[in-house]
Amino acid sequence: MTDRKRDYYEMLGVAKDATADQIKSAYRKLAMKYHPDRNPDNPEAKEKFTEISEAYEVLSNPEKRQRYDQFGHEGVNFGPGGFNFGRDFSHFQDVDLNDILSSFFGGGGFSSFFGGGMGGGRQRADPSAPQRGDDMTFRLDVDFDEAIFGSERTIDLTLPAQCDECHGTGAAPGSRRTTCATCHGSGVVIAGGGIFQIRQTCPRCGGEGSVIDKPCRSCRGTGHVTKPQHISLKIPQGIDSGSRLRLAGKGGGGVRGGEPGDLYVLINVKASDIFERDGLDLGVEVPVSPIAAALGGTVDIPTPDGMAQLKLPAGTPNGKVFRLRGKGVRSFRGEVGDLDARIVFEVPSNLDKRQKETLEEFQRLSNPSTFPAAQTFANKTRIFYSHKEKLQKSR
Ligand SMILES: [Zn+2]
Ligand SMILES: [Zn+2]
């Protein structure tokens, strides 16, 4: 992104609250001065002309001007990669506003005054036709237990909605749409002189072919405004990361009687302190005393259904995994996963005098068959060194 771009108002030498006529006349003056036809062989003038034309392209279109005022250059810079708002939306907490904004602004059929090239100019839409609201997507972080058990959430969002003042027409009371005088309703102008003629989106009407003589004050002629929305959402039991919930008709408001768009909630489940999750299956590491594992006994295993008792056979090795069937996540469709409990030995620590004495006593009573793996290891080591000795002697 070019961040060193100058302010559009500054480029045209107009105030931030300049009227459409003031902007237009400022642009005209500058365009006359810097027009490439009047400044042959002057690359600076050409660059300047491009700059002021770009500024005019944005400030002359009420919708683009509003975006520019709200978001700066990024708000009107429709690159192929979409948006990158380097802004602080942290007050929205778990809602990813980038997604919302990109779905709000993206896909709008924006065709640049300059990028259009040969045969450019966007398709003219009927400005009085009902317009369906935009589909919105946002990411919602959900706690692990919320996802396992299901919950209800309310989300505060700012969504585009029809402007009530003008009922989405964009026209102030008593004003109306008239055919654009610049393009005579075609939405396209022929620019450039000489051999090359370039069809471009009409900068006055933004390609719509008509203009409002007095734009609505509350929406600046765009027909929509942003409104805070309070949306309650049911999080289904067992939902997993990557799931998308669709709330029909809860997206951006339609304009001029158009249907509202849909709202998509992309779920991201946060990690748990206890469980690992893979779909509907769960895993849990259970610290167990090696003494309990040697003697056999029962250990408590946490499961979504409550504590389960697992019988440990005498001599259970470290790392042994026990599968508890049907003790994983239960989905809202009634499917249920398994839970794998992995035994992890915990070496006894913070021993008091009597515990130490007892363990020392146990150590004395141990024999090679008490720790067979240690015994086998000791034998292998002995063989290794006896080989080494033989080899050294024969050298
Ligand atoms: Zn309005
Ligand atoms: Zn026009």
What is the per-residue DSSP string for 70-127?
HHTHHHH---TT-----S--GGGTTB-HHHHHHHHHTTS----TTTT-TT--PPPP-T
Region label for 168, one of left (φ > 0), alpha (ψ between -120 and 50) or beta (otherwise): left
Please name the amino acid found at residue 370.
T
In the numeric block, which tokens belong to residue 164? Answer: 């009530």
pLDDT score of 198 more than 90? no
Ligand 2 midpoint to CA 376 (Å): 91
pLDDT score of 284 more than 80? yes
Ligand 2 midpoint to CA 211 (Å): 7
Distances (CA, A) of 237 to 23, 87, 277: 56, 34, 14
Q: If you compute the radius of gyration of the chain from its CA atoms, what whole number of angstroms results?
A: 35
**Confidence class of residue 387 from pLDDT cuts 50, 70 and 90?**
very high
User: Which of 71-75, 89-93, 295-299 is the least confident region?
Assistant: 89-93
Ligand 1 midpoint to CA 321 (Å): 64
Burial class (CB in 10 A: 0-12, 13-18, 19+), 351: exposed
pLDDT given for residue 351 in this prediction? 97
Ligand 2 midpoint to CA 202 (Å): 5
**Confidence class of residue 294 from pLDDT cuts 50, 70 and 90?**
very high
Check: CB of residue 160 under 8 Å from CB of residue 134: yes
Rounded mean pLDDT of 50-68? 83
In the numeric block, which tokens belong to residue 365? Answer: 């009573």
Q: What is the Cα–Cα distance from 116 to 208, expressed in whole angstroms? A: 16
Q: Which residue has the tokens 């002359």?
A: 60
**Confidence class of residue 272 from pLDDT cuts 50, 70 and 90?**
very high
Q: What is the Cα–Cα distance from 253 to 261, expressed in whole angstroms? A: 6
pLDDT given for residue 195 in this prediction? 66
Ligand 1 midpoint to CA 163 (Å): 5
Which contiguous run of DSSP H or E holds residue 33? Answer: helix 20-34
Ligand 1 midpoint to CA 164 (Å): 6
Ligand with the closest atom to the CA of 202:
2
Rounded mean pLDDT of 320-329? 97
Average per-residue pLDDT in the chain? 81
Please name the amino acid found at residue 88.
D
Q: At a CB cut-off of 8 Å and minimum separation 6, what does 366 contact?
A: none
Torsion from C-alpha of 7, 12, 14, 20, nearest 10 degrees:
-110
* Crossing angle (nearest 10°) for helices 43-59 and 62-71: 100
Rounded mean pLDDT of 149-156? 92
pLDDT given for residue 126 in this prediction? 66
More confident residue, 322 or 5: 322
pLDDT given for residue 331 in this prediction? 93
Q: What is the Cα–Cα distance from 36 to 38, expressed in whole angstroms? A: 5
In the numeric block, which tokens belong to residue 302? Answer: 């946490």
Ligand 2 midpoint to CA 69 (Å): 22
Ligand with the closest atom to the CA of 220:
1
Ligand 1 midpoint to CA 166 (Å): 4
pLDDT score of 125 more than 80? no
User: Which of 17-21, 55-59, 103-107, 376-380 is the least confident region?
Assistant: 103-107
Ligand 2 midpoint to CA 134 (Å): 25
Task: Spell out which residues have Cβ within 5 A of ligand 1, the ion.
Answer: 163, 165-166, 216, 219
Ligand 2 midpoint to CA 189 (Å): 7
Ligand 2 midpoint to CA 63 (Å): 15
Ligand with the closest atom to the CA of 163:
1
pLDDT tens digits for range 162-186: 888 888 888 888 887 788 888 888 8
pLDDT score of 122 more than 50? no
Ligand with the closest atom to the CA of 180:
2
pLDDT tens digits for range 202-237: 888 888 888 888 888 888 888 888 888 888 999 999
pLDDT score of 358 more than 90? yes
pLDDT score of 65 more than 90? no
pLDDT tens digits for range 9-26: 988 989 888 888 888 888
Ligand with the closest atom to the CA of 187:
2
pLDDT score of 85 more than 60? no
Ligand 1 midpoint to CA 181 (Å): 22
Ligand 2 midpoint to CA 55 (Å): 17
Ligand with the closest atom to the CA of 221:
1
Burial class (CB in 10 A: 0-12, 13-18, 19+), 350: exposed
Q: At a CB cut-off of 8 Å and minimum separation 6, what does 203 contact?
A: 53, 56, 57, 60, 61, 113, 182, 189
Distances (CA, A) of 264 to 107, 245, 251, 363: 16, 5, 8, 64
* Residue 341 bridge partners (DSSP): 284, 322
**Confidence class of residue 127 from pLDDT cuts 50, 70 and 90?**
low
In the numeric block, which tokens belong to residue 260? Answer: 């509202």
Q: What is the Cα–Cα distance from 57 to 64, expressed in whole angstroms? A: 8
Task: Fill in the DSSP letter of residue 131.
Answer: B
* Percentage of the chain exceeding pLDDT 90: 40
More confident residue, 310 or 202: 310
Ligand with the closest atom to the CA of 63:
1
pLDDT score of 239 more than 90? yes
Ligand with the closest atom to the CA of 218:
1
Ligand 2 midpoint to CA 127 (Å): 12
The greatest distance separating any two alpha carbons of the chain, rounded to the nearest whole angstrom, comes to: 113
In the numeric block, which tokens belong to residue 89? Answer: 């939306």
